[in-house]
Amino acid sequence: MSTNASAPKLAAPVDILDQRTGVATFIKAFARKVFPDHWSFLLGEIALFSFIILLLTGTFLTLFFVPSSDLVTYTGPLAAMNGVEMSRAFASTLHLSFEVTGGLLMRQIHHWAALIFMAAIVTHMMRVFFTGAFRKPREINWVIGFTLMILGLAAGFSGYSLPDDVLSGNGLRITDGVVKSIPIIGSYLSYFIFGGEFPGTHIIPRLFTVHILLVPGLILALVGLHLFLVVLHKHTQYPGGGRTERNVVGYPIFPVYMAKQAGYFLIIFGVLALMGATLTINPVWNYGPYDPSPVSAGAQPDWYMLFLEGALRLTPGFLEVVIGGFTLSLNVLIPAVVVPGILFTTLALYPFVESWATGDKREHHLADRPRNAPVRTATGVSVLTAFMVLILAGSNDLIATHFHMSINAITWTFRILLFVLPVVTFMVTKRIALGLQRKDRELVLHGHESGKIVRFDTGEYIEVHQPLDEQERWIRVQHDPRRPIPLLPEHNERGVRRRGYRRDALRTRVSEFFYADRVEPVTPAEVAAAQAHGEHDALPAAGHAMAELTASKDGSSAG
Amino acid sequence: MSDESTEVGLPAEQHDLPHRFENPGLPPHHERLTDTDPRAAKRAERLIAALFGLSALGTIGAVAAFFVVPPEQTVASIRLSTLLLGLGLAVAFGAAGIAAIHWSKTLMNDREMVEERHPQASSAAAREQAAQVIADGVSDSGLSRRGALKGAMVTALALAPLGFAVPLIGGVGGDWNISKFRHTMWKKGTKLAHDPSGRTIKAADLTIGSAVHVIPDGLNDVPDMLEEKAKAMVLLIRLDPRTLKEAPDRKDWSYEGIVAYSKVCTHVGCPVALYEQRTHHLLCPCHQSTFDIADGAKVVFGPAKRPLPQLPITVDAEGYLVAQSDFHEPVGPSFWERLK
Amino acid sequence: MKAIAARRHHKLAPVVLLALALLVTGVLYAAFTPSTAQAASAPTENDLTAGSNLFRANCSTCHGVNAEGRAGAGPSLIGVGAAAVDFQVSTGRMPLMNQGAQAPAKPPIFTEEQIRQMAAWVASLGPGPAIPAPEAVDPSKGDAASGMELFRTNCAMCHGAVGQGGALTEGKFAPNLSTASPTTIYEAMVTGPQSMPVFNDGTVTPQEKRDIIAYLDAQKQGSPGGATLGSIGPVAEGMWAWIAGLGLLIGAAVWIGAKSS
């Protein structure tokens, strides 16, 4: 075969490169690697590609932006800004927006890309969470992704404040207030950040360094690691015929996946260009150059910081206490430091918590269907609900004006909903997930309703059920049943108390919380039993007993 | 409980069924229209080519817009320039992207491929060898035998970052003099002036229901203007003296119903400025802390705990409003050593 | 002096004197008229009567027959001036339809003539701010940049950065100013309607008021960046990013992931 004259040869550039680097081995191994195809696997790509667009447009902006707090008098096309004294940072933002052709477009694409970047990161995290794609061996990559989200927040916040306008300046002022509330070191931390008293002249250049060097550098490095691990682990895939824990089914990188990736990058750039061309974002000329005195109604941060704003708005003031002459501002610390601290720590550690609770140390490459992990799904929905309530609370003044309601009533409503709604959504989601699993069982055991009614000789009417084909059935029965870890007795056979019993007991309780309520996948025996009763009507025996058995445990340990 | 359910109530002959279902294998491959119908493939090809052509036109449009419609000195021209350039880019990128994806979906092979996975962990032999290599290295270095060396190394390495961190941390905080939080520009006799113009204010200029944003006279000439303004800004309000409730020790802090309060919120420092003259309530637009100006600026709603600090004012011989002194407490958000 | 004295009895003297007097009056008027002076000609006796009748028929239930106010119903209007009447009635805020957190703007139910008559009658009860003259509210005579600085210090915390409106406590709100006429804006500043503080000519000078009007007028040109999204800031931007932006991109992803037929 190798002597076949028609066998393709390496193209000249590849040949030259290969003789110096051995790249052909890499191409051979890599070019036909298989990636599974599913829309939800592209959410991470939205984040990745908007990051690339952020780098491109950001580079454009740095060529015209001057990160300086020196005061200048601006002259330019906008009447409302003409002759106004402002920092060079703000003046250069106006200059690049109004007098550099394409400057405003790039600024708007940059800011829209930042919002989409964070939105895509959150959506991508949701996908990974709800499908259990964080399980072994991907826990490290989950932590890397989590770190990327935090870095994204840092990038967004530092960039948002750069134009030195009133809106972002008040955001910095709030940051200063939050930092000062930190016990013991707060005042010094404020000086550390601002180089002296707020606002000072150091913060803009400092944020600039953070925004264009430190944070993007770290993001780039971690994105590289993130993608390396994706390739190393090979992508997860959804369950289906022929898809197992030991294989990956999909399309080769070259050419299909490459074409799709390149195409998707271009589409994302196109959509962001469309948004940048038509929708005003962060019109700093409306807010004016920073001055500590003014503030405008509708003072909010970009959406990804809105939950902190909402938490600050909801927390009542009586929590500020004085202990031994020292002031402890719990009314600020709890919403701005403790709540996000708990939220982020839980998020980062979740894979380890779940694997500890399940005792599951196997590798997982098949994604879970969210219904098959009811407690995980419910936990995710519950946390998202709390996040959503906080976002809405951060917009309470806009809700008040747009729906003609009292801002005080809205604030009180959200104070209550923040505690009630996550519990409600947890329970409802868990019930829905279990219900969907029962529906799956029902379908597998009895097939689709065909709508055909048949009358027997005996006068009995029944509806004919169409059994599932094996592909349909497989999706509904492929998952492993998960059960709580049984607790070994406290005393061993010689009556001696076991070491580690209390830890095991806790673990069993957590495990029960996860898996006590469950619906098990249908087994071949159950289908056989169901069919033995006639294809149409298989309720008694196994199926029914099953439903009762699982139902009997519902509620007993739901909390 | 349900663990045994697979055994419950089943006839004996069904016990020899497999415990779980078998994976049925890949579903059969369905040919696309473009695989079976050469005319459909040709149509797809033409569409893809047209989309690439459209993309090129978009680029031409964007470049043309750059030269033909630059932003001029008007809002409308800036908007038009941004719009045309952006639409050009959107068409150029969007159409090319759609073309590439349509190409991959209709003309490239859509037979799924299967690749085997291997466990992430190395083989047992490799793990053993790695453990041996590490053990050899550790013993070669003598780390386990020479305890003193280990202690010395850890100490040196733990201390080393200090040489970098101390100058860095020492330098970034300016003079680290946090007592500046406690004082503002106000002192006895400082005239109250309009923000931002700096015009001084006579008591007679204010009618009941007036709210004036105030800075200390001379603020615009100090070198660290923004830092001073961030602490010294004040809201001056004239109320009907009959509605004013004043603490006994503050009776002489106001002048004929005119009161001055710090504009820096005691929550996290936003400028509190939404004054409702009918209810005498002052609302912070950032987090909705609400203060009652008629009653010592006490908190009536929201996340702030403390009232706004009051600036004692009076009038001078010419009728100008002046401060009696600085604030009697630090302005703005709480901090740990505020009361010390 | 004799020459003048001699001509004092010239038959044209009264005419010349009259002309001179008119000229002096005109010049003095032009020089000394405050910009807040009544633009329309002085009200006639008929106007006052008509205004009084309109007031008694439509406003006295709450404000009292002689506008002295009624406890728990409506404030005294003595001394509020013509500007207050013109503001409240021409924007439809008065007469109040029903008790709520605050009186909302709605289509006015009186004609301009009727409003002028009521304003004249209320103004006759005690001195107060008058309806501004057209040049006092002419945006082209104001400086938008100065207006921007004044607006954001004095107005933006309630009305938003470009006057899009904002929330106050207990269901009250600062209205959107994009459709408010320059005269209405001026009148609101000098009278301080409802929750709004008063910005008299000592606080914000007439020239500064015109600057503010010029700034708000400049907002009518729209945003250089395209659609304004209501100018309400990052919350609207976030919603567009999620719904339009991410929505479109996920739509594209679904198309990419779907099998071709």
B15 has a pLDDT exceeding 90: no
- Give CA–CA dist A219/C45, Å, rounded: 79
pLDDT, residue C41, reads 59
B191: left (phi over 0), alpha (psi -120 to 50) or beta: beta
Tokens describing residue B231:
């602490």
pLDDT, tens digit (0-9, with 9 covering 90-100), for A27-70: 988 888 899 999 999 999 999 999 999 999 999 999 999 999 99
Which of A104, A313, A319 minimises the CB distance to B287?
A: A313
Partner A, chain C 42-101, Cβ-Cβ below 8 Å: 101
CB contact under 8 A, A296 and B285: yes
CB contact under 8 A, C197 and B211: yes
At A555, the pLDDT band (50, 70, 90 cuts) reads: very low
Q: Are residues B156 and B86 in the same domain?
A: yes
- Give CA–CA dist C134/B73, Å, rounded: 29
A552 has a pLDDT exceeding 60: no
Average pLDDT, chain A: 90
At A556, the pLDDT band (50, 70, 90 cuts) reads: very low
Mean pLDDT, to the nearest integer, of A529-535? 70
Structural domains of chain B, count: 2
A193 has a pLDDT exceeding 50: yes
pLDDT, residue A534, reads 56
Q: Identify whether the C-beta of residue A407 lies closer than 8 Å to the C-beta of residue C167.
A: yes
Give Cβ neighbours of residue C100 (< 8 Å, ≥ 6 apart).
C171
Q: Are residues B133 and B162 in the same domain?
A: yes
Phi and psi at A319, nearest 5°, equal -70, -10
CB contact under 8 A, A46 and C249: yes
CA proximity to A235, closest of A477, A26, A23, A45: A45
Min Cα distance B52 → chain A (Å) is 11
Using CB atoms, which chains have 3+ pairs under 8 A with C?
A, B
pTM of the model: 0.91
Instruction: Delimit the domains of chain A by residue range.
Output: 442-551
Mean pLDDT, to the nearest integer, of A17-28? 92
Tokens describing residue A406:
């009292």
Q: Are residues B167 and B192 in the same domain?
A: no
Q: Are residues B100 and B184 in the same domain?
A: no
Q: Report the range of poorest mean pLDDT among A157-161, A202-206, B302-306, C168-172.
A: C168-172
Residue in chain B closest to A98 (alpha carbons) equals B78
Helix A374-394 to helix A306-314 angle (10° resolution) is 70
Q: Are residues B298 and B207 in the same domain?
A: yes
Q: Which CATH number fits the domain that encloses residue B256?
A: 2.102.10.10
At B268, the pLDDT band (50, 70, 90 cuts) reads: very high
Which of helix, strand or coil describes residue B339? Answer: coil
CB contact under 8 A, B86 and A176: no
CB contact under 8 A, A174 and B108: no
Q: Contacts of residue A396 in chain B, CB cutoff 8 Å?
A: 288
Residue in chain B closest to A516 (alpha carbons) equals B1
Using CB atoms, which chains have 3+ pairs under 8 A with A?
B, C
Residue B99 included in any domain? yes
State the DSSP H helix or E strand holding residue C174, giving kind and residue range, or none if neither. strand C173-174
pLDDT, residue C9, reads 61
E-strand spans in B242-295? 258-262, 274-276, 281-283, 290-292
pLDDT, residue C250, reads 97
pLDDT tens string, chain C, 261 residues long: the values are 455 555 556 666 666 666 776 666 666 555 554 444 444 557 788 888 898 999 988 888 889 888 888 887 888 898 888 999 999 999 989 888 777 778 888 898 899 889 999 999 998 888 889 999 999 999 999 999 999 999 999 999 999 999 999 999 888 999 999 989 999 999 999 999 989 999 999 899 999 999 999 999 999 999 999 999 988 999 999 999 999 999 999 999 999 999 887
Q: Are residues B210 and B266 in the same domain?
A: yes
Q: Identify whether the C-beta of residue A285 lies closer than 8 Å to the C-beta of residue A79.
A: no
Q: Contacts of residue A99 in chain B, CB cutoff 8 Å?
A: 71
Residue in chain C closest to B82 (alpha carbons) equals C225
ipTM field? 0.92
Whether omega for the bond prior to residue B196 falls within 30 degrees of 0, making it cis, is yes
pLDDT, tens digit (0-9, with 9 covering 90-100), for A282-316: 999 999 999 999 999 888 999 999 999 999 999 99
> What is the CB neighbour count within 10 angstroms for residue A321?
12
Q: Which amino acid is at C258?
A: A
Give Cβ neighbours of residue A463 (< 8 Å, ≥ 6 apart).
A449, A450, A451, A452, A453, A454, A536
Give Cβ neighbours of residue C11 (< 8 Å, ≥ 6 apart).
none
Residue in chain C closest to B84 (alpha carbons) equals C226
Q: Contacts of residue A280 in chain C, CB cutoff 8 Å?
A: 223-229
Q: Are residues B219 and B309 in the same domain?
A: yes
State the DSSP H helix or E strand holding residue A352, giving kind and residue range, or none if neither. helix A339-358
pLDDT, residue A203, reads 95
C-alpha distance across the termini of chain A, in Å? 67
Q: Identify whether the C-beta of residue C161 lies closer than 8 Å to the C-beta of residue C177.
A: no
Whether omega for the bond prior to residue A255 falls within 30 degrees of 0, making it cis, is yes
pLDDT, residue B105, reads 93
CB contact under 8 A, B117 and A259: no
CB contact under 8 A, C225 and B79: yes
CB contact under 8 A, B273 and C157: yes
Residue B278 included in any domain? yes
Q: Identify whether the C-beta of residue A188 lies closer than 8 Å to the C-beta of residue B173.
A: yes
- Say yes or no: B72 contacts chain A, CB-CB below 8 A: yes
Residue in chain C closest to B273 (alpha carbons) equals C157
Mean pLDDT, to the nearest integer, of A345-355? 93
Q: Are residues B83 and B164 in the same domain?
A: yes
Q: Report the range of poorest mean pLDDT among A15-19, A291-295, A555-559, B97-101.
A: A555-559
CB contact under 8 A, A299 and C144: no
Min Cα distance C197 → chain B (Å) is 5
Using CB atoms, which chains have 3+ pairs under 8 A with B?
A, C
Min Cα distance C154 → chain B (Å) is 7
Q: Identify whether the C-beta of residue A395 lies closer than 8 Å to the C-beta of residue B285.
A: no
Q: For tokens 């309607």, what's the residue? A: C193
CB contact under 8 A, C238 and A302: yes
A3 has a pLDDT exceeding 60: no
Phi and psi at A322, nearest 5°, equal -115, 120
- Give CA–CA dist C112/C126, Å, rounded: 22
pLDDT, residue C181, reads 93
C-alpha distance across the termini of chain B, in Å? 63
Which of helix, strand or coil describes residue C96? Answer: coil
CB contact under 8 A, A116 and C246: yes
Identify from B274, B286, B299, B301 which residue to disrupt to test chain C contact, counting C C-beta atoms within 10 A and taking the largest count: B274
Tokens describing residue A313:
């708005």
Residue in chain A closest to C221 (alpha carbons) equals A78
Ordered structural domains, chain C, with CATH: 45-123 (1.10.760.10), 135-221 (1.10.760.10)
pLDDT, residue C30, reads 53
Bigger pLDDT: A489 vs B226: B226
Mean pLDDT, to the nearest integer, of A339-350? 92
CB contact under 8 A, A84 and C149: yes
Helix A186-194 to helix A166-180 angle (10° resolution) is 150
Partner C, chain A 262-301, Cβ-Cβ below 8 Å: 263-264, 267-268, 271-272, 275, 277-283, 285-288, 291, 293-301
A214 has a pLDDT exceeding 70: yes
pLDDT, residue B2, reads 39
Partner C, chain A 298-327, Cβ-Cβ below 8 Å: 298-303, 306
pLDDT, tens digit (0-9, with 9 covering 90-100), for C84-136: 999 999 998 988 877 777 888 889 889 988 999 999 999 888 888 999 999 99
CB contact under 8 A, B290 and C200: no
- Give CA–CA dist A261/B132, Å, rounded: 44
The DSSP annotation for A390-443 comes to HHHHHTHHHHHHHTT--HHHHHHHHHHHHHHHHHHHHHHHHHHHHHHHHHHHHH
Residue B21 included in any domain? no
Residue B276 sits in which domain range? 180-323
CB contact under 8 A, B94 and A266: yes
Which of helix, strand or coil describes residue C156? Answer: helix
- Give CA–CA dist A372/A364, Å, rounded: 14
- Report the range out of A547-556, B259-268, C63-72 with the highest average pLDDT: B259-268
In chain B, what percentage of residues exceed pLDDT 70? 96
